[in-house]
Amino acid sequence: MSPDASHALAPELLATRIASLPALPSVATSLLRGFDEPDADLAELARQIAADQALAARALRISNSPFYGQRGRIDSIREAVVVLGFRAVRSMVVSAAVVRSLSAVGALQDFDGRAFWRHGVGSAVAARQLALLCGHNPESAFTAGLRHDVGQLVLAVTCPQHCAAVQAWRSAHGDAQTAAEQHVLGLTHAEAGAMLAAHWGLPARICAAIALHHSSLAAAHPLAALVHVGDVLAHGLGLASGEDEAVPPLDDAVWDALALDSAQLSGTLGRIETEFEDTLDALID
């Protein structure tokens, strides 16, 4: 479907505007650079994290949240790395950094920031629990899940008039968000989010997970598949705004690719809700 010519959004224009958004804190960039390095210098990375006091404080708050069962027992980044593992601490720090950078854009007209973050955390927690069921890396799933819809914020910040046109189209035609974006803008929030992720230097598989989270192609990318199902599950549980949330389509091929056991998934839903509340309190002000 060709976009509505009056509000079509050229990728080059969007890329220019993305370049003006707040950067990630340097410590997050360092952590992401070593995302897939098994022999990273943990002591050096712990030192870098500790040097950014606001991020370190947030990471400790998450480390001491009920989910990790360490209530108040962890009082340094070094200790958090030893007790919880480097991947978990890195996920916390990078997540806190993303929240901080994106929160810096301030309140936006016609954009529900509270629901945005609640859905991000809900999808992150759901993706992490799904990863545990499927034998994938839970912290990568959390990291990707938290920012999968970052493109919605990108569009709201950089192109508010285009977003208003998308919402008007939805109201008039009843289309789902992604379909309306494709029709009006010629691109979707998934593509916009992937552009920001690439600009920030996030790992390629996280960029792919963001880009593909509404696509059947996610079936070939385990991280994207976890985010796709985690996203739908978070809506189904009403984690952003309650039990009346609209649930987007769940792709058959992606669902099959994860080969989830229905009984196990059912048993996980309560844990997702509990972990969601704990994580939300620790991560979002």
Partner 1 sequence: MPAEDARPAPAPPAPVDVQAVRERLERCFAGAGQGRASQALFEILLRYRLTRHGARR
**Contact footprint for partner 1 (CB under 8 A):** 176, 232-233, 235-238, 243-252, 254-256, 262, 265-266, 269-270
* Closest to 130 (Cα-Cα) out of 247, 209, 61: 209
Cα–Cα distance measured from residue 109 to residue 201, given in angstroms and rounded to the nearest whole number: 28
Cα–Cα distance measured from residue 37 to residue 137, given in angstroms and rounded to the nearest whole number: 14
Q: Which residue has the tokens 């598989």?
A: 205
Nearest-approach distance from CB 219 to partner 1, in angstroms:
11
Are 87 and 250 spatial neighbours (Cβ–Cβ below 8 Å)? no
* Closest to 158 (Cα-Cα) out of 1, 6, 10, 3: 10
CB nearer to partner 1: give 265 or 284.
265
Nearest-approach distance from CB 137 to partner 1, in angstroms:
23
Amino acid identity at 120: G
Are 180 and 4 spatial neighbours (Cβ–Cβ below 8 Å)? no
Nearest-approach distance from CB 184 to partner 1, in angstroms:
17
Nearest-approach distance from CB 224 to partner 1, in angstroms:
15
CB nearer to partner 1: give 19 or 168.
168
Helix or strand holding residue 31 (H, E):
helix 26-33
Count the neighbouring beta carbons within 10 Å of the beta carbon of residue 265: 16
CB nearer to partner 1: give 103 or 241.
241
Nearest-approach distance from CB 43 to partner 1, in angstroms:
44
Nearest-approach distance from CB 164 to partner 1, in angstroms:
21
Q: What is the per-residue DSSP string for 18-50?
A: HTTSPPPPHHHHHHHHTTT-TT--HHHHHHHHH
CB nearer to partner 1: give 16 or 274.
274
Count the neighbouring beta carbons within 10 Å of the beta carbon of residue 233: 23
Nearest-approach distance from CB 228 to partner 1, in angstroms:
10
Cα–Cα distance measured from residue 259 to residue 71, given in angstroms and rounded to the nearest whole number: 35
Q: Would you call 205 exposed, middle or buried from its count of C-beta atoms within 10 A (0-12, 13-18, 19+)? A: middle
CB nearer to partner 1: give 161 or 262.
262
CB nearer to partner 1: give 245 or 277.
245
- The two tokens of residue 112 are 């529900």
CB nearer to partner 1: give 43 or 176.
176
- The two tokens of residue 114 are 């509270």
